[in-house]
Chain A
Amino acid sequence: MTALLEMRSITKEFPGVKALDRVNLEVKEGEIHAICGENGAGKSTLMKVLSGVYPVGSYDGEIHYEGRLAEFRGIRDSEHRGIIIIHQELALVPQLSIAENIFLGNETARGGIIDWHEANHRTEALLKKVGLKESPMTLVDSLGVGKQQLVEIAKALSKDVKLLILDEPTAALQENDSKKLLDLMLELKSQGVTCIIISHKLNEVRYVADTVTVIRDGMSVSTLDAKKGLSEDDIVRDMVGREMSDRYPERNRRAGDIIMEVENWNVWHPEHAERQIIKNISMNVRAGEVVGIAGLMGSGRTELAMSIFGRSYGRRISGTVKLHGRDADVSRVDRAISSGLAYVTEDRKRLGLILDETIRFNTTLSNLQSVSSNGVLDANEETEVAEKYRAMLRTRTPSVFQKVGNLSGGNQQKVVLAKWLNTAPEVLILDEPTRGIDVGAKYEIYAIINELSAEGKGVVLISSEMPELLGMCDRIYVMNEGAFVGELSASEASQERIMSLIVDERG
């Protein structure tokens, strides 16, 4: 078999971050090629380079496709050559029908007039091919995620796809839907379509893939031949096999009494009433302890944190939260705050900060009572509070009157931390506190976390970066598909153990 696609020494840099570092990828004609790696390893970036989202010139290295050098300036170029990517977040327009979606941007039109008869007719044939028994006129809105996925594939087929890229296609699917999708991939392969699948689910990778390329920290680590019997352990080892160095400041680990207890916590999806997002979770946090929550994206970590923090996510929430052994009222955000909880959101720009306002404005926002009397703000007091945290967290800024939007990611994160420290919480939940910030700032955030635990606060650390969890936590809960599947102490925990707890559960 000849190579359909060769990506040679691809390097892609973002300001301050090397997302891809001399990555090689070779995909043979007619195979299913899996790309595995942790969150943030660079898989999606690589696919964006391939599909032209990052146009030629914005990266180093060469792409050879069908035997010649390919220089894609945009998605249109790559689609024209038969490379179709289906993203994790589906790109369908819910209010349009299946047929309308399939031919969107590629309408069966003459002189601007759409021939609906032909569109529907061709859609029927495509739907038959992907095994979806729906009328072409059905609105996409009314389909489940699994069926929407099939519509996406049908859409790809309508464009004479040669290389189909699926980015975590089964992440949101139930088991039998996943199975159907994987079988469809095998079916397409027999018809000569080459596939790239990005997946965390190693059992699925084993089921469909001919070849596996593992990417770690923006580098291609290994290419494994799956036909000769590949074990999941082989893949896991390559995925996580990185040295732990002293990227984490030392801390005296001295856990005290239990501060927070969550018992039998259940949460349902806010819109799909039948989907249970959090399944009977119980956890506790001790004073001075850093407790990690490990799990893949979509495992429900953020949903767990947000539902505890003032029911900011989900419906039909049940379970109890106790602080210092007494039932705490966390039914609204302001009540959760006064109970002693703080939650540093995952997405600081969208959920954490008012970007157009100053550092001072953001710092005092969650506790305006402390800088006001009878509802009237004391500007001097506010400035003092903001200055205090600026010094304490070493936020680098000319003044606290600087707009938060102008700060770097690390400094923005410090402002978010300042906002929550100013509420004098007993338990801080940190959701991906170091995402998207540089190594130096990460270290400073870790040092702050250690200081907080030394003061006897409880810290819950949610992170996709396993080395971070292993380096920082006293205890790690492993979460998968909305439930805790294991609890490891610092001494028992390793990346392999965590991964295999997740994988076992899925398998």
Chain B
Amino acid sequence: MTTDTNDMATNAGAAASERKGLKSYLASHMREFGLLFALIAIMVFFQIVTGGTLMRPVNITNLFLQNSYIIIMALGMLIVIVSGHIDLSVGSVMGFVGALAAVLIVNHDVPIPITVALCLLVGAAIGAAQGYFVAMWRIPSFIVTLAGMLVFRGLSLWLLEGQSVGPFPKSFQILSTGFVPEIFPASIGEALASAFDTRNFNVLSFALGLIAAAVVVRMGLKKRARNAQYGIADEPIGLFWARTAIIAAAIIFLMFKLSTFRGLPNVVVTMGVLILIYTFITEKTVIGRRVYALGGNEKAAKLSGIKTERLTFLAFVNMGVLAALAGLIFAARLNTATPKAGFALELDVIAAVFIGGASMSGGSGKIIGAVVGAFIMGVMNNGMSIMGIGIDYQQVIKGLVLLAAVFFDVYNKNKQA
């Protein structure tokens, strides 16, 4: 009799501890799940209020095109912010490089590959100049890049002589508005198009979507297996599958939408590759590790043999290159360079990184967080525009979302401590 009651008690205890495990796991990973659910909730919300316009293939394509340059800059900004700094100049630098490209290509007929290389080099040089003052002279990055913001805004105006310069040749435009050509026979596409009852069907992008989803599942499982091998407490299995399934389904869904329009935009490929590279750098490499150490405790990092000045310098050089790339993509998308290009864009980029969970004091933040943060901002911009909400209210709402995200962060941290 006693054994029975004991057993029951143990079972009940185990179940309770499992529930507690799930709860405490969710509590300690509130940020990551919160972010993912926020993005999904926002998308569902706008899908409903826009009467289905948000998820239409053409709009999904647009969403990527509109946000690609913000995401690309957010990758660099994440690194700058993790290292304990900030870069306010990226919007201006982006505009300046776009203007430079326009002047070189349109006014001086410089070949496009040379222009692209030159523009990226100029971006690196701009980053190096700002990084030099921040790293070697220890001038606060806020001030150095505030100066940079003014300088490069002014230089764009000067370069363009206050005019818009364009249009660009087709071969430059494809950088942003081009699509990856179909490699599968047209017959397969036609068959799938009729099967799904759509006008077009780009087999390549759909196939890539399936592959990407499979990779996500496989990598998740691999990580779980390794954690188990080392006895690292992992998320509950149910939660793992729920999360992985949502992510995989979302990838397939988005790629399906893209494939029923014109396929995979070039810029999505660029962006995807960069996201993978930067995730790898921040999580798997020595230099990435050192950036987190630098931002976490600069003095301890320095006394551990890390060349903190050089690392800070490189973070800014990297930011400059990515801002230049974003400038090229932006100019190609608008098909013209204007003195206003990139105006106030640094704020969207910085907001994306903070919504994505990076800490203002440095040392923490993830690439994927910044990307999701950028999409949250992007979907809101897009959804509110479709709804016809005025730019005035849009700004207010975006501001409040930023504050709410960071408040949520701080609140969680205080509760844990």
**A residues neighboring B (CB under 8 Å):** 309-310, 312, 332-334, 336-337, 343, 345, 350-357, 361, 365-366, 368-369, 372, 375-377, 379-380, 383, 399, 401, 419, 423
Contacts and interface: CB of A to CB of B under 8 A. Distances in A.
A366 B290 CA distance: 10
7 contacts: A333-B305, A350-B299, A354-B300, A365-B304, A376-B284, A376-B285, A419-B304
Contact of B305 (A337, A379, A383): A337
Of the candidates B233, B285, B364, the one having the most CB atoms from chain A within 10 angstroms of its own CB is B285
Given A361-B289, A368-B290, A377 B296 contact: no
Given A337-B305, A350-B299, A357-B296, A375 B232 contact: no
Interface string B305-324: 11100000000000000000
Contacts of B233: 399, 401
B285 A357 contact: no
B370 to A, nearest CB: 18
Given A354-B293, A356-B296, A356-B363, A377 B303 contact: no
Contact of A365 (B284, B285, B293, B364): B293
Nearest to B232: A401
B360 to A, nearest CB: 13
B63 to A, nearest CB: 33
A352 B303 contact: yes
A350 B298 CA distance: 9
B304 A366 contact: yes
Of the candidates B233, B284, B285, B286, the one having the most CB atoms from chain A within 10 angstroms of its own CB is B286
Contacts of B303: 309-310, 312, 333, 343, 345, 351-352
Contacts of A376: 284-286
Interface string B346-377: 00000000000000000110000000000000
Contact of A310 (B230, B305, B363): B305
Given A333-B305, A377-B289, 19 more contacts: A312-B302, A333-B304, A334-B306, A350-B297, A350-B299, A350-B300, A351-B300, A354-B297, A354-B300, A354-B363, A356-B296, A356-B363, A365-B289, A368-B289, A376-B284, A376-B286, A379-B226, A380-B226, A399-B231
Nearest to B361: A356
Given A366-B305, A419-B304, A351 B299 contact: yes
Of the candidates A351, A354, A379, the one having the most CB atoms from chain B within 10 angstroms of its own CB is A354
Interface of B: 226, 230-233, 284-287, 289-290, 292-293, 296-297, 299-307, 363-364
Contacts of A369: 286
Contacts of B299: 350-351
Contacts of A399: 231-233
Nearest to A335: B305
B264 to A, nearest CB: 29
A145 to B, nearest CB: 24
Contacts of B293: 354, 357, 361, 365
A383 B296 CA distance: 20
A355 to B, nearest CB: 7
Contacts of A333: 302-306
A353 B286 contact: no
A379 B229 CA distance: 12
**3 closest A-B pairs by CB:** A354-B296, A334-B305, A366-B304
A335 B292 CA distance: 22
A419 B289 CA distance: 15
Contact of A357 (B292, B306, B307): B292
Nearest to B283: A377
A356 B284 CA distance: 18
B300 A353 contact: yes
Contact of B286 (A312, A345, A368): A368
B364 A380 contact: no
Contacts of B285: 372, 375-377
Contacts of A356: 296, 363-364
Contacts of B284: 376-377, 379
B234 to A, nearest CB: 11
A350 B287 CA distance: 22
Contacts of B307: 332, 334
A398 to B, nearest CB: 9
Contact of B230 (A312, A383, A419): A383
A27 B206 CA distance: 86
A307 B416 CA distance: 40
Nearest to B294: A354
A401 B232 CA distance: 8
Contacts of B363: 354, 356-357
B81 to A, nearest CB: 15
